[in-house]
Amino acid sequence: FEITDEKRIRMFDESWYTYKDGLLPSVTFIQSCDAGYGLIAWIKEHGIYADKIRDIKGEIGTLFHEMIEILVKSGWLDYNDFVNEEHFLSAWRRVNNVMNFYKTVIKNKHEITGVEFTIINEKEGYAGTVDLKTIAKTDEKHWKKGTTHIWDWKSSPSVQSHHKSQVAAYAV
- Measuring CA to CA, how many Å separate 93 from each of 31, 47, 97, 102, 155? 27, 27, 8, 15, 9
- Angle between helical axes of 50-74 and 88-101 (0-180°, round to 10): 40
User: Other C-beta atoms within 10 Å of 17: how many?
Assistant: 23
Q: Please classify residue 59 by burial: count the beta carbons closer than 10 Å to its beta carbon, then call 0-12 exposed, 13-18 middle and 19+ buried.
A: middle
Q: Is 80 exceeded by the pLDDT of residue 123? A: yes
What would the pLDDT profile of 77-112 be if each residue is shown by its tens digit?
Answer: 888 888 888 888 888 888 888 888 888 888 889 999
Query: What's the whole-model pTM score?
Result: 0.71
